[in-house]
Copies of this chain bind each other. A is one copy, B any other.
């Protein structure tokens, strides 16, 4: 990892991922179901799972055993990323501007079914996925050098998904990114109270509220908060997490129906070690960040959040 000359901005240099200029010329094509390493029966094409979940009775999970064939019959499967952006090793800060890219990079294969993305999941399925997010957060947070755990999802080629099979990713970092640190100790209580009663409200349940943020950077952006402040997904009660999962699925399903199943990214904003009001941010990918956004960090949004929320409430 390298740091900017002056600012607290880091980049991960991950040269395993591409080697020659010619590698950039052809766009990657996502594999169809007939050729997918994440589909059942193809387990041997991925590294051994760190956890495979089974739905027999309770949700129980077991890693593949070294030297044995990979487990089959799973409902969710957690595997190391074959092209990790970060790798488990000791953290070394070479000087103020170089650090070893230590961490964890996992893929959560969300379903045996190739196209079972969260926007199409049943309540039971989305609750199971969020329980796995909780488990991965818990396990990874125990690693001493881990300072932040990014849990996110890319859906669609335009949103950066290089594999089409339903999956999320987890990247644990040895630093707290500035963008996350800026969220520490912010009191979202008054924001939630105000937005729940505003034209920007999308869904409001016992434990959870979803709204289009006042200064939405992206068209149809949605933020989903548990009403009780928690620093991360592991601190939610089971009832809170289940409600949070179902509301998230509902917002994704509404986006899918409203906008012909658009590409999107979502990511948890959460903290390993400091106070924060964790939440999920959904970013539909309807435009391209271009020169102006790169230059200024100011976004241009062509739909008011009030109008986006109204469409999402009514569909």
Given contacts A288-B160, A304-B13, whether A296 and B21 have CB atoms under 8 Å apart is: no
Is A117 located at the chain interface by the 8 A CB criterion? no
Could you tell me which residues of chain A, from 163 to 193, have a CB within 8 Å of some CB in chain B? 169, 171, 173, 177-180, 182, 186, 188, 191
B297 near A215 (CB under 8 angstroms)?
Answer: no
Could you tell me which residues of chain A, from 182 to 235, have a CB within 8 Å of some CB in chain B? 182, 186, 188, 191, 213-217, 219-220
Taken together as a complex, chains A and B put the C-alpha atoms of A2 and B161 apart, in Å, by: 30
Given contacts A6-B186, A265-B291, A304-B13, whether A219 and B24 have CB atoms under 8 Å apart is: yes
| Size of the chain A interface, CB-CB below 8 angstroms | 79
Given contacts A9-B215, A297-B177, A311-B21, whether A154 and B290 have CB atoms under 8 Å apart is: yes
Is A133 located at the chain interface by the 8 A CB criterion? no
For this chain, the copies found in one complex come to: 2
Interface string of A242-266 (1 = CB under 8 A from B): 0000000000000000111010011
Residues of B within 8 A of A297 (CB): 9, 177-179
Is A295 located at the chain interface by the 8 A CB criterion? yes
Could you tell me which residues of chain A, from 254 to 287, have a CB within 8 Å of some CB in chain B? 258-260, 262, 265-269, 281, 283, 286-287
Given pairs A9-B297, A173-B296, A177-B296, 20 additional interface contacts (CB within 8 A): A6-B186, A7-B182, A9-B215, A9-B217, A11-B299, A12-B298, A13-B301, A14-B300, A14-B301, A17-B302, A25-B259, A25-B260, A97-B214, A150-B291, A150-B296, A161-B290, A177-B295, A179-B296, A267-B292, A269-B295
Q: Which residues of A contact B (CB under 8 A)?
A: 2-7, 9-18, 21, 24-25, 85, 97, 148, 150, 152-154, 158-161, 169, 171, 173, 177-180, 182, 186, 188, 191, 213-217, 219-220, 258-260, 262, 265-269, 281, 283, 286-292, 294-304, 307, 311
